Structure 1
Amino acid sequence: MSANLKYLSLGILVFQTTSLVLTMRYSRTLKEEGPRYLSSTAVVVAEILKIMACILLVYKESQCSLRALNRILNDEILNKPMETIKLAIPSGIYTLQNNLLYVALSNLDAATYQWPSDSQELDSKELSAGSQFVGLMAVLTACFSSGFAGVYFEKILKETKQSVWIRNIQLGFFGSIFGLMGVYIYDGELVSKNGFFQGYNRLTWIVVALQALGGLVIAAVIKYADNILKGFATSLSIILSTLISYFWLQDFVPTSVFFLGAILVIAATFLYGYDPRPAGNLTKA
């Protein structure tokens, strides 16, 4: 059963990450009239949706009893403040990572959606170089922070008896606080001018829902598998996203270096997850 949950959660994570990257990139580069939605507010809304989903799951596990739900939330969250505070560290890092993902996808692919004329080519190249540097720095920072947060969160999940949904509620609580702080600091003026949900449309809500789902799936992967397999699943989703960009969106031309990296990732995933049969189980010819 645990093995099935491990591979099921990994498969869902690959699908979720691939869908999120493609829809988020499209939503951040789509040209529309009016203000574009604020990535800082999208992070907060995703955290709130994650909390609501986890509360519903805990409610279902408590046999749909409001009294039992209230008791569990009080016993596991309010009455254990030190256990709850432990989640502040990975929550802050995950909130930073989510914001950096928006920054990366807003900058790395800017040149893809611009087709300048000859007179604008020089300015476009300079802008593209600057955007790519910002995007690359955002990606690198997100990678290093994600590794630490993943290991820390895995340690907490596997050393305590609290359910993964309770832990996600705690994560979402701190994530919402940190996210609101980011909204106030970076986009406070825009929010006061055009509203918290400025620029939101159907695609924006799909991105937010996928991001909320990602938090739940990542927690399940760390719980039933481990943080290293989570990293492999994310790498596979990057390869899948790139292939879709090439065959469907036609905005990326893979190189030999990309194919080499893809082969190494697939091979590493197979070797790490391969479980050979014990020598004692081999039958003699």
Structure 2
Amino acid sequence: MSANLKYLSLGILVFQTTSLVLTMRYSRTLKEEGPRYLSSTAVVVAELLKIMACILLVYKDSKCSLRALNRILHDEILNKPMETLKLAIPSGIYTLQNNLLYVALSNLDAATYQWPSDSQELDSKELSAGSQFVGLMAVLTACFSSGFAGVYFEKILKETKQSVWIRNIQLGFFGSIFGLMGVYIYDGELVSKNGFFQGYNRLTWIVVILQALGGLVIAAVIKYADNILKGFATSLSIILSTLISYFWLQDFVPTSVFFLGAILVITATFLYGYDPKPTGNPTKA
């Protein structure tokens, strides 16, 4: 049962990550009338949706009893403040990572959806170079922060008896606080002018829901597998996203270096997950 949950959660994570990257990239580069939605508010809404989903799951595990739900939340969160505070560190890092993902996808692929005229070509190239540098720095920072937060969260999950849903509620609580601080600092003026949900549409809500789902799936992967397999699943989703971009969206041309990296990732995933059957003792003559 544990092995089934491990591979099921990994498969869902690959699908979720691939869908999130493609829809998020499209939503951040789609040209529409009016203001574009704020990534900082999308991060906060995703955290709130994650909290609501986890509360419903805890409610279901409590045999749909509001009294039992209240007791569990009170005993496991309010009565254990030090245990709850431990989640502030990975929560802050995950919030930073989610914002960096929007930054990266808003910059790295900006030139893909722009078709400049001859008179605008030089300016567009200079803008694209600067945008790509910002996007690359955002990706690198997100990668390093994700690795640390993943290991830290795995340690907490596997050393305590609290359910993964309680841990996600704690993560979401701090994530919402850190996210609201980011909204106030970076987009406070825009929010006061055009509202918190400015630019939101169906596609935006799909992105937010997928991001909220990602927090739940990642927690399940770390719980039933480990952080290294989570990294492999993310890498596989990158390969899948690239194949979709090449064959369907036709906005990416893979190079020989990409193919080499893809082969290395697939091989590493197979070798790490391979569990050879133990060989029996040789029969004595």
Give structure 2 stretches of 5+ with no counterpart. none
Q: CA deviation at 1:283?
A: 10
Query: How far apart, in 1, do the equivalents of 2:282 and 2:163 lie?
Result: 39
Query: How far apart, in 2, do the equivalents of 1:11 and 1:193 lie?
Result: 42
Q: CA deviation at 1:180?
A: 0.1
**Runs of at least 4 residues off by over 2 Å:** 281-285
Deviations 1:74-124 (A, max 9, x none): 000000000000000000000000000000000000010111111111111
Query: How far apart, in 2, do the equivalents of 1:216 and 1:177 lie?
Result: 18
Matched residue SS, 2:33: coil
Query: How far apart, in 2, do the equivalents of 1:266 and 1:282 lie?
Result: 34
Q: CA deviation at 1:281?
A: 7.9
2:244 corresponds in structure 1 to 244
Deviations 1:117-174 (A, max 9, x none): 1111111110000000000000000000000000000000000000000000000000
Tell me the TM-score normalised to structure 2 length: 0.98
Query: How far apart, in 2, do the equivalents of 1:93 and 1:282 lie?
Result: 52
Query: How far apart, in 1, do the equivalents of 2:184 and 2:281 lie?
Result: 61
Matched residue SS, 1:228: helix
Query: How far apart, in 1, do the equivalents of 2:234 and 2:117 lie?
Result: 37
| Distance change (3 Å), C-alpha of 1:119 and 1:64 | same
| Distance change (3 Å), C-alpha of 1:251 and 1:100 | same
| Distance change (3 Å), C-alpha of 1:128 and 1:79 | same
| Distance change (3 Å), C-alpha of 1:282 and 1:67 | farther
Deviations 1:181-230 (A, max 9, x none): 00000000000000000000000000000000000000000000000000
Query: How far apart, in 2, do the equivalents of 1:170 and 1:145 lie?
Result: 19
Q: CA deviation at 1:282?
A: 9.0
Deviations 1:224-250 (A, max 9, x none): 000000000000000000000001100
| Distance change (3 Å), C-alpha of 1:66 and 1:283 | farther
Tell me the TM-score normalised to structure 1 length: 0.98
Query: How far apart, in 1, do the equivalents of 2:115 and 2:23 lie?
Result: 21
| Distance change (3 Å), C-alpha of 1:191 and 1:284 | farther
| Distance change (3 Å), C-alpha of 1:128 and 1:161 | same
Q: CA RMSD, aligned part only?
A: 1.4
Number of residue pairs matched by the alignment: 285
Deviations 1:3-60 (A, max 9, x none): 0000000000000000000000000000000000000000000000000000000000
Query: How far apart, in 2, do the equivalents of 1:241 and 1:151 lie?
Result: 25
Query: How far apart, in 1, do the equivalents of 2:60 and 2:283 lie?
Result: 47
Matched residue SS, 1:35: coil
| Overall identity of the aligned pairs, in % | 96
1:257 corresponds in structure 2 to 257
Query: How far apart, in 2, do the equivalents of 1:96 and 1:280 lie?
Result: 50
Matched residue SS, 1:282: coil
Q: CA deviation at 1:284?
A: 12
1:165 corresponds in structure 2 to 165
Deviations 1:252-285 (A, max 9, x none): 0111111110000000000000000011289999
Matched residue SS, 2:109: coil
| Distance change (3 Å), C-alpha of 1:120 and 1:272 | same
